[in-house]
Amino acid sequence: MIDPHRLSTQLIRHLYRHSTRDLAVHCVHTGLIAAYLWFELPLSIWGAWLAIALLAGFWHWYRSTQALRHIPDDTIKGDTIVPDIVAAGIAGLSLGVSALLFPLLSLDTRLFVFMMLSAVAAAAMPRLSTLPSVYAAFLFGILLPLIGILIVMDNEPGLSSIPAILILGGSLFYSAYRLHSDLMDGLLSRFGLENEAGQDKLTGLANRRRFDFVLQQEWAHALRYRTPISLIIMDIDFFKKYNDHYGHQEGDDCLEQVAGALAESVKRAIDLVARYGGEEFVVLLSKTARDDAYAIGERMRQAVEDLEIAHEQSTLGHVTISLGGFTTFAREDMKAEDLVKLADKALYRSKESGRNRVTWYDPKLDDPETAEL
């Protein structure tokens, strides 16, 4: 099953992949229109329009940088792209309001502005078509003032131009939707192949291969932004005895139930739950401090215990898990693999302490030689 959160994240990245270049294009379009308006508008009106157009462009650019920076936090629900829709709408409107100046302009300048607005709408289509609702907002911002002023104006271009504008807008949006469909087909195809190679067939969780890949990605992100990163590793207590007593089919059923409980305990789309091997599972928690990660580990432990899967060979009488965790701020003198190694040492202490518990790595207890970590 393709993760919709990952898919939406890729769409946002694609939308803003050239945000600085897009800002430059916006400034060029603004400059061209401003050059024509300079000769026919009072300085105060010209300056006000230019300031609005540039500020809107920079705000749209700023929104793009913030979206790219905080993409890992997005759960991509319905309201996640609302700021992007608003920013695109305002960016389009900042240029579209130039049409409201038509009563002050000559016919030649009106036609130039009309052609420029059409060119701007067409130029933005390949990029903003990534999310049709974002492009629709941009297109609406450009064309609404134009249609409005043509309705109230008596001279050329008048009402007769509105059908052509509506056809233009409809054609651009249709083309944008087609581009979006092609992009989605490519992403769905790619993610389908990735999922096939990165999913554990029994539990439906990420497999070891995908975990190793994501671990390197998240470690690099944590290193770049100096954010905390946590990892929890766990295994099912006395699972070999469970398999020997109940049989491998029951063992597989147990693994599936435990995997489901673990996945349900993690709420954010950016967190990864994976089957590490056999009865071992691992959870990677980006931008998560120790106390928050510990709470998630305890929630997982309780969720598995609440399954109340009978286990006669366990001293506890039912299936439980033991967990070990480690939290750090990424540093150049550490490797991503250190997260697993140190969390594993905490897991060993959980088992030594009686199992069915969460233990966090403590260098003084687990590894005095690496206390500086």
- The pLDDT of residue 73: 45
In a domain, 373, yes or no: no
- The pLDDT of residue 226: 87
Q: How many domains in the chain?
A: 2
Query: Among 155, 172, 196, where does a domain finish?
Result: 196
Instruction: Tell whether 58 and 95 lie within a shared domain.
Output: yes
Instruction: Tell whether 150 and 51 lie within a shared domain.
Output: yes
Contact 210, 305 (CB under 8 A): no
Instruction: Tell whether 69 and 153 lie within a shared domain.
Output: yes
Instruction: Tell whether 188 and 220 lie within a shared domain.
Output: no
Instruction: Tell whether 215 and 320 lie within a shared domain.
Output: yes
Query: Among 196, 217, 238, where does a domain finish?
Result: 196
Residues of the chain below pLDDT 50: 1, 73-79, 373
Contact 339, 363 (CB under 8 A): no
Instruction: Tell whether 278 and 334 lie within a shared domain.
Output: yes
Structure tokens at 233: 């590793």
In a domain, 328, yes or no: yes
In a domain, 337, yes or no: yes
Q: Which residue carries 């016919």 as its tokens?
A: 107
Instruction: Tell whether 141 and 35 lie within a shared domain.
Output: yes
- The pLDDT of residue 78: 43
- The pLDDT of residue 8: 73
- The pLDDT of residue 77: 45
Residue 256, number of CB atoms within 10 A of its CB: 14
Question: How many degrees, rounded to 5, is the angle at CA 116 between CA 160 and CA 82?
Answer: 95
Question: How many degrees, rounded to 5, is the angle at CA 72 between CA 70 and CA 75?
Answer: 100
Instruction: Tell whether 129 and 278 lie within a shared domain.
Output: no
| Entry pTM | 0.55
Instruction: Tell whether 141 and 29 lie within a shared domain.
Output: yes
Note down the domain range covering 58.
Answer: 4-196
Instruction: Tell whether 317 and 260 lie within a shared domain.
Output: yes
Instruction: Tell whether 127 and 235 lie within a shared domain.
Output: no
In a domain, 371, yes or no: no
How do residues 248-290 score in pLDDT, each as one tens digit? 999 999 999 999 999 999 877 678 999 999 999 999 998 899 9
- The pLDDT of residue 5: 61
Query: Among 176, 196, 216, where does a domain finish?
Result: 196
Instruction: Tell whether 172 and 267 lie within a shared domain.
Output: no
